[in-house]
Amino acid sequence: MTQPTPAKVDMEKIISLCRRRGFIFPSSEIYGGLASFWDYGPLGVELKRNIKQAWWQNMVQEHDDMFGIDSSILMHPRVWDASGHLQEFSDPLAECKSCHKRWRVDDLEGNRCPECGGELTKPQMFNLMFKTFVGPVEDAASTVYLRPETAQGMFVNFHNVLNTTRKKLPFGIAQIGKAFRNEITTGNFIFRCREFEQMEIEYFIKPGTDEEWFDYWLKESHHWYLKWGIKPENLRLRQHTKGELAHYAINCYDIDYRFPMGWAELEGVANRGNFDLSQHARYSGKSLAYFDEDTKESITPCVIEPSAGVDRAFLAFLCDAYSEEPDKEAIRVVLHLHPRLAPIKVAILPLSKRESLISIAREIYTELRHSWMVSYDDAQSIGRRYRRQDEIGTPYCVTVDFESLKDKQATIRDRDTMEQIRVPIKELKTILTDRLS
């Protein structure tokens, strides 16, 4: 649930920037779009890839007890029986008797339709999972569900990972992938989509060590957003009340971000006890126990789950980085993204379209492209070109001018300070490597 606070960034401005500069487009736009489905454009795809890469690096690569998997989106339907999603994963919904629009009861303030003021039906539970069929026959036996979370793919692979990595507890499995929910209340751009991506960890531990590991993962997860540039004042930790806890959870904290529409969940960190492994063992008839060499006992591990949304992180990084700054003639829009997250790292800008300058500029461009996403732009005035790069968060611009022909030097301009330094062209790569790491 979101809580209104004074908006610091206008969502309309973020949406307009995303549309205008090719971060995000409405899905199937030429057909009028499809509600709460979005397509990531050329810049969006880079930012999203960098966010996932940063997460994978910190959460998997830099932890020697973490292993990645990529499980299928459609799973055996019994998975959702065992996980409780078939019974529990639903929202209470009321329908307006006059305009027939459906509303999530949790989001209603009164008992009339917010759109037309009509009378609402009694709430009914509505399952959020999308259904489809495997094979040619559309019947109950062939019904499967698009996964509403990536987590279950990690639980059902617990023994596969344990046996193939030969790891002892504690260890974790991580996964980044698509999830689907037939959300009732949509809106707020990519905050609540019907198709989205998650970055999840299931960290398996010995019973009795859950509090210490819960604290560890809550800190790690919180720290991750700070490390990649989110301002501390725009993050908060919120513990779930007893009534809010999901059916599997013993404890849960939300990491909330102050979005333009108010504080809302960016990530959840939950202590799931041994609910999931016990349920899958029961429903599948296969043991998912772990033999503890120290105590010579068979145990069912407990689990700590940090569960983050890629799209919500994307939106938070954009909102946090967005700034409008007074410049000489106008307002300068800048995305102060962490350089490692920025979609384009360097823009090469020859000062004029004279062939001699273009050829040096293109040479630099060709060389640097082996290292990063680099763009080349020789259209319009230099001021305008700087501004176009600032608006998409490009940390450095390299300008080639007539002096460069003589002194073999180029100018590096810093997005945040707008400072310019002149450096030998042959040292560009080393200097930029240093600044971008």
Residues that bind ligand ATP (CB under 6 A): 149, 181, 183, 192-193, 196, 198, 265-268, 307-309, 311-312
Q: How far is the CB of 4 from ligand ATP (least distance, A)?
A: 16
Q: How far is the CB of 81 from ligand ATP (least distance, A)?
A: 18
> Is the CB of 183 or the CB of 391 nearer to ligand ATP?
183
Q: How far is the CB of 264 from ligand ATP (least distance, A)?
A: 7
Cα distance between residue 63 and residue 203, in whole Å: 12
> Is the CB of 307 or the CB of 404 nearer to ligand ATP?
307
Question: Could you tell me which residues come within 8 angstroms of residue 436 by beta carbon, excluding any fewer than 6 positions away?
Answer: 339, 340, 345, 372, 395, 396
Q: How far is the CB of 238 from ligand ATP (least distance, A)?
A: 11
> Is the CB of 95 or the CB of 305 nearer to ligand ATP?
305
Burial 171-189 (b: 16+ CB within 10 A, else e): bbbbbbbebbbbbbbeebb
Cα distance between residue 260 and residue 303, in whole Å: 33
> Is the CB of 95 or the CB of 267 nearer to ligand ATP?
267
Cα distance between residue 35 and residue 32, in whole Å: 9
- Count of Cβ atoms closer than 10 Å to residue 129 Cβ: 17
> Is the CB of 221 or the CB of 300 nearer to ligand ATP?
221
Distances (CA, A) of 92 to 149, 184, 420: 20, 10, 57
Q: How far is the CB of 89 from ligand ATP (least distance, A)?
A: 9
Q: How far is the CB of 426 from ligand ATP (least distance, A)?
A: 45
Q: How far is the CB of 1 from ligand ATP (least distance, A)?
A: 7
Distances (CA, A) of 292 to 156, 168, 169, 178, 390: 20, 8, 8, 34, 55
**Residue labelled with tokens 């968060």:** 393
> Is the CB of 184 or the CB of 374 nearer to ligand ATP?
184
The residue type of 269 is V
Cα distance between residue 6 and residue 337, in whole Å: 23
3-state secondary structure (DSSP) of residue 216: helix
> Is the CB of 189 or the CB of 213 nearer to ligand ATP?
189
Name the residue whose CB lies closest to ligand ATP: 309
Cα distance between residue 227 and residue 235, in whole Å: 12
Tokens encoding 107: 């989001």
